[in-house]
């Protein structure tokens, strides 16, 4: 990694929701960095806090959420800003594409009008003609055929894959420093998913934007991410380069996820499920959050408060305190 300061630096990010049953911790003391132009994959199962963490950065959590910690983009603090100040950053410096493109698009407006609006919100100097030109350029960039004609169509006239691409076009309309992609291909069929992943890759090559890729699909991050962060019950359990995570996973949970995964290239003798369930968000144990499901859990060491994730090798961190003993045990 280069010694330049990170584009995005998140420190001790915590998200709590106020509920009738008491406060619920969705994200717990999360710290990570994203380098300019790189892709960080955030991997986790339902309820791991991966979406809550990224929405906190965007200032898009509901009022019942209490966000603490720090998130600096180019040294500028994102958390705790009033909505009006956040609006200036959102879409321009940090943009998001959601899973469900149909509900993220306005059904009453043409795609072209929505693209023009996305540009105009942050740049009022452009004429109508220039806005249209930019919209065509954006649709072309995300690989929509005959973009000039497609501009005047409505979302319902687009297929699912094209809508997701239009949404990506809107996300990159103002050349953001970082694009947050929250399960961008989860609702799509696999052949369409391949097209959309190609588009994200191409857009990144052409514009140099960093990508925060949030997904439950390990196959998607294997192809796209430079670094991967594995989340579980709101906390980071492991972080490392893509090859470190896949070929030398350190945390028992990461190992478990990889062993539970069926493969397209060969049939495994038997899958290895992870026993049990993640802890309930309002009933989180102290110590290691994964210990109830871990076959390496130590009744003493794993119940004590965990130190911050530590390096097992350069750039490869894990929260597991038994990582060295486990590695030798296999």
Partner 1 sequence: MTATTTAPPVPALEIRGLVAEYRTRRRLGGRGRTVQAVAGVDLTLAQGHTLGLVGETGCGKSTLGRTLVRLVRPAAGSVHAEGIDVAGAKGVRLRQLHRTVQLVFQDPYASLNPRMSVRALLAEPLKVHGLHVRRREERIRELLDLVGLDPAHAGRYPYQFSGGQRQRLGIARALAVEPRILVLDEPVSALDVSVQAGVINLLDDLQRDLGLSYLFIAHDLSVVRQISDEVAVMYLGRIVEHGPAEQLYDHPAHPYTQALLSAVPVPDPRVERARKRIVLTGDVPSPLSPPSGCRFRTRCWKATDRCAAVAPPAVDLGGGHTAACHYPALADTPAGNGA
Stretch that binds partner 1, among 101-109, 165-173, 216-224, 318-326 (CB under 8 A): 216-224
For β-strands 39-43 and 210-215, DSSP reports them as: parallel
Q: Which whole-number Å values give the CA distances from 102 to 46, 62, 215, 297, in the listed order?
A: 22, 21, 19, 44
Provide DSSP, 45-86: -TTSSHHHHHHHHHT-S-TTEEEEEEEEETTEE-TT--HHHH
Query: If binding is defined by CB under 8 A, does position 327 make contact with partner 1?
Result: no
Which residues lie below 8 Å from residue 187, measured CB to CB, with a gap of 6+?
99, 100, 101, 160
Query: If binding is defined by CB under 8 A, does position 292 make contact with partner 1?
Result: no
Give least dist CB 221 to partner 1, A: 8
Six-digit token string for 42: 């955030």
CA 146, chain centre distance (Å): 31
Query: If binding is defined by CB under 8 A, does position 19 make contact with partner 1?
Result: no
Cβ atoms of 39 and 211 within 8 Å: the answer is yes
Near partner 1 by CB under 8 A: residue from 92, 195, 296, 323:
195
Query: If binding is defined by CB under 8 A, does position 156 make contact with partner 1?
Result: no
Query: If binding is defined by CB under 8 A, does position 328 make contact with partner 1?
Result: no
Give least dist CB 275 to partner 1, A: 8
Query: If binding is defined by CB under 8 A, does position 267 make contact with partner 1?
Result: yes
Query: If binding is defined by CB under 8 A, does position 157 make contact with partner 1?
Result: no
Near partner 1 by CB under 8 A: residue from 274, 288, 317, 320:
274
- Cα separation, 41 vs 110, in Å, equals 32
235-264 residues in contact with partner 1 (CB under 8 A) are 242-243, 246, 256-258, 260-264
Write out the residues near partner 1 by the rule CB under 8 A. 45-46, 159, 161-162, 189-191, 193-195, 197-198, 216-220, 222-223, 242-243, 246, 256-258, 260-265, 267-268, 270-275, 277
């Amino acid at each position: 990694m280069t010694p330049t300061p990170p584009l995005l630096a998140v420190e001790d990010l915590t998200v709590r929701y106020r509920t009738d049953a008491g406060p619920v911790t969705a994200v717990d003391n999360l710290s990570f960095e994203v380098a300019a132009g790189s892709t960080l994959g955030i991997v986790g199962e339902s309820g791991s806090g991966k979406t809550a963490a990224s929405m906190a950065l965007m200032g898009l959590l509901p009022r019942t959420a209490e966000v603490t910690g720090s998130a600096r983009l180019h040294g500028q603090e994102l958390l705790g800003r009033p909505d009006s100040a956040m609006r200036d950053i959102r879409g321009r410096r940090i943009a998001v594409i959601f899973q469900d493109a149909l509900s993220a698009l306005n059904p009453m407006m043409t795609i072209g009008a929505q693209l023009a609006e996305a540009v105009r919100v942050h740049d009022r100097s452009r004429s109508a003609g220039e806005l249209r030109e930019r919209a065509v350029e954006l649709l072309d960039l995300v690989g929509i055929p005959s973009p000039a004609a497609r501009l005047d169509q409505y979302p319902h006239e687009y297929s699912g894959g094209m809508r997701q691409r239009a949404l990506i076009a809107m996300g990159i309309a103002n050349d953001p420093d970082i694009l947050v992609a929250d399960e961008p291909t989860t609702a799509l069929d696999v052949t369409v998913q391949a097209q959309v992943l190609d588009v994200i890759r191409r857009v990144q090559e052409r514009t140099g934007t960093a990508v925060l890729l949030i997904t439950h699909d390990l196959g998607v991050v294997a192809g796209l991410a430079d670094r991967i962060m594995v989340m579980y019950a709101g906390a980071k359990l492991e972080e490392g380069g893509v090859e470190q995570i896949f070929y030398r996973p350190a945390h028992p949970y990461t190992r478990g996820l990889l062993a539970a995964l069926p493969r397209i290239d060969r049939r495994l003798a038997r899958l290895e499920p992870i026993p049990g369930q993640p802890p309930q968000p309002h009933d989180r144990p102290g110590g290691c959050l994964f210990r109830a499901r871990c076959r390496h859990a130590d009744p003493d060491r794993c119940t004590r408060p965990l130190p911050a994730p530590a390096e097992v090798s350069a750039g490869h961190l894990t929260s597991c305190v038994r990582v060295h003993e486990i590695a030798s045990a296999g």
